[in-house]
Chains A and B, each alone.
Chain A
Amino acid sequence: MKTTAPNTLLARGLIIVLMIVTLLPFLSMLSAALAPQGSYPNGLQWPTDPQWGNFVRAFEVARMDQLLLSSTLIVLGVVPVSVLIATMAGYGLAKLTSNKYKWLYLIFVFGLTLPFEAVITPLYYEVRALGLLNTRFAIILPLIGLYMPFSVYWMRAHFLNVPHDLTEAAQLDGATRWKEFWLVQVPLARPAIMSLTILLFLWTWNQFLLPVVLVQDPMQRTMAGALGAFQGQWGTDIPLLCAGSLLILAPTVALFLVFQRQFVAALMQGAVKG
């Protein structure tokens, strides 16, 4: 007879190997980040005299404080607006419209697989015409639009699952559509809104293509965009580059560790629905 025990062991073994593979690049960066300035460290080797000061230097060189501020401003510009208008649109598409408007939904769905590269060139000219090139709005406004297909799709899927009785009950109580939306539907949609917020936050924070094309000054970019510039400038100084990279990826990792459960749930559902 076969038992499941060896299987479980095998599975755990496999998973542990996967975890090690996942962690090695981070460890390798950490070990390099602690090597003496300007040296050529080895792949993975605990330095005899760890130079924690490299992180301080990288913080100053990369002007981390300004980067954090810039990324935060961009996220604040993108996420609340996107979530709000996507929630309204998702509700509208799920509850208010007849089949006549199905084409509208289909147009949104079409955008789901659209690579950003497909519109980046005209976006450049559009943003330039608006006079917004090299400002944070050059990242914020297009991103709101680019996130709409997924966000609307996501919120519509949520509202489709809300039983219709609820609307009727609210209407019997004399609530207007608008009131029903804010007082009944939105509170109920909190988990969906929460997940959407997390996903949009991550995607905005880590967005690279738009900052690279639309904003020259790294200080006006997102973290990821700034990291690109940092690599261009300090690519040959491995300890500094690794220290800077670790600093730049630290904020999202820290948030992820704190809200691990919510992040994992959002990322998994996001993949399934997206």
Chain B
Amino acid sequence: MAPAFVAYAAFVLVPLGMSIYYSLLRWDGIGKARFHGLTNYLTVLTDNDLLQIIGNAFQLVLYFTLIPVLLGLAVAAAIRSHMDGRFGTITRTVLFLPQVIPLVAAGIAWSWMFASTGLVNQTLKAIGLSDWARGWLGDFVWALPAVGIIGAWVLLGLCTMLLVTGITKIDPSLYEAARLDGARPWHEFRYITLPGLRQEIGVCITVTVIAALASFDIVYISTQGGPGITTTVPGLEIYRLAFAHRQVGLASALAIVLMVLVLITIAPVQWFTRDKK
């Protein structure tokens, strides 16, 4: 037990403590640090740009979480049985591919998809929507949704498979009983499928929300946070503040705020979806 704790303490707990300490300083990382009290936190919570950056992360949650969970639920509700045989194997293999590759590679692949000569525009032109074609990742309005789509693509397969596996564990007799009682498909979904999948949905939401709030790789590769700061997320801003702008104190304050935001966003999800024993 000791070695694990030492490693954990040395490279997580100590840095975390230092993060909190730095966050109270005004320090450029080289010269002398000055005690700054809670000013950095005040800045994080009042500065318009930083608030927008935090807001961006929560907007990403909409894409990273909602799309995979809703699509996954649709597939699970429709299939409601094991995926056996060849089809099942192929499905699993294909849907898990995005989980195996580096997020950076997903970012590059989709930068190319969204490029002006990329597949997205090519498709739009082919179906007569040339007006819609644009450089998606350079567009002030569309860049953030485009980044959101990349994350949704990465997480889609994992959520789908988790939900499909989860639904096979629901006792089929529940559905039969409901049908005998004359339940409509919507009712079945609402009163059997959703409660039965509560845990799996909780897992999907937890994983995807953390992926969105703590995102870095995809944004760094696909947009560098631009245009303007429309796609900048806290993870990228911490990196920039600390290593490009040399505002170590402010970066650390943002880091602590991000950690707390993740915790308080996840806590209710865990609470509501835990297995009630």
A residues sitting closer than 8 Å to B (CB atoms) are: 2, 4, 7-8, 10-12, 14-15, 18-19, 21-26, 28-29, 32, 40-45, 82, 85-86, 88-89, 92-93, 96-97, 104, 107-108, 111, 113-126, 141-146, 148-149, 151-152, 202, 205-206, 208-209, 212-213, 223-224, 227-228, 231, 238, 241-242, 245, 248-249, 252-253, 256-257, 260, 263-264, 267-268, 271-272, 274
Q: Is B92 touching A209 in the complex (CB atoms < 8 A)?
A: no
Q: Is A126 touching B14 in the complex (CB atoms < 8 A)?
A: yes
Q: Is A272 touching B94 in the complex (CB atoms < 8 A)?
A: no
Report whether over half of chain B's contact residues are helix, strand or loop; otherwise say mixed.
Answer: helix
B121 at the interface (CB under 8 A from A): yes
Give the CA-CA distance A239 to B104 in the complex, in Å.
17
State which residues 1-31 of B face A: CB under 8 Å: 1, 3-5, 7-16, 18-19, 22, 29
State which residues 66-96 of B face A: CB under 8 Å: 71, 74-75, 78-81, 87, 89-96
Interface-side segment among B44-52, B154-162, B190-198: B154-162
Give the CA-CA distance A253 to B79 in the complex, in Å.
27
A and B contact pairs by CB, cutoff 8 A, 7 listed: A97-B1, A121-B255, A256-B97, A257-B93, A260-B89, A263-B96, A267-B158
Chain A residue, CB-CB nearest to B237: A117
Q: Is B101 touching A249 in the complex (CB atoms < 8 A)?
A: yes
Chain A residue, CB-CB nearest to B257: A118
CB neighbours of A4 from chain B (8 A): 80
How many residues of B are in contact with the other chain, CB < 8 A?
A: 93
Q: Is A14 touching B78 in the complex (CB atoms < 8 A)?
A: yes
B residues sitting closer than 8 Å to A (CB atoms) are: 1, 3-5, 7-16, 18-19, 22, 29, 71, 74-75, 78-81, 87, 89-106, 108-110, 112-113, 115, 117-123, 153, 156-158, 160-162, 165, 179, 200, 203-204, 207, 210, 213-214, 216-217, 220-221, 234-235, 238-239, 242-243, 248, 251-252, 255-256, 258-259, 262-263, 266
